[in-house]
Amino acid sequence: MASPRTITIVALSFALGLFFVFMGTIKLTPRLSKDAYSEMKRAYKSYAKALPGLKKIGISSVLLRKIIGSLEVGCGVVLTLVPGRPKDVANFLLLLVMLAVLFFHQLSDDRPEREDSREEQHINDQEKNKVKQS
């Protein structure tokens, strides 16, 4: 009989694999959730805007979303069904993908804040000029 630790690891691996299959599928098709799919499209458009170098090498927001979604689905299937070394490789690939997405997310979140702060600074400067003129 398998130890409780082994059963726990297998169950977690299976659940995590299904999660990544689900999330990857949402990035690839609107069949599961139209709202989540449209949100993913919007997010990846902002990622592509935050990284103009991607466009220079020919990677659009659609291609980026499809690459990441496909990697998530593929690695999720491996986590769910394949034991041994391939599972370790899938874990490592998913780690890299999640770090990249986290990086993209941070870049796209910082960008509007910088633009907003510039606008606020411009408004503050205008208000100071009005006070000086009065």
% of the chain at pLDDT higher than 70:
81
Number of neighbouring beta carbons within 10 Å of residue 130: 9
For residue 77, how far is the Cα from the chain centroid?
19
Residue 101 within any structural domain of the chain:
yes
pTM as predicted: 0.76
**Residue 54 reports pLDDT greater than 90:** no
* Containing structural domain, residue 51: 4-105
- Eight-state DSSP code of residue 83: -
Specify whether the CB–CB gap between 101 and 68 falls below 8 A: yes
Distance CA 74, CA 100 (A): 17
What does the pLDDT look like over 32-53, one tens digit per residue? 999 999 999 999 999 888 888 8
| Number of domains the chain contains | 1
d(CA 6, CA 9): 5
Q: Is residue 93 part of a domain?
A: yes
In a domain, 121, yes or no: no
Within-domain flag for 110: no
Q: What is the pLDDT of residues 75-101, one digit of tens each?
A: 999 999 998 899 999 999 999 999 999
pLDDT of residue 108: 83
Q: Quick check: is 117 in a domain?
A: no
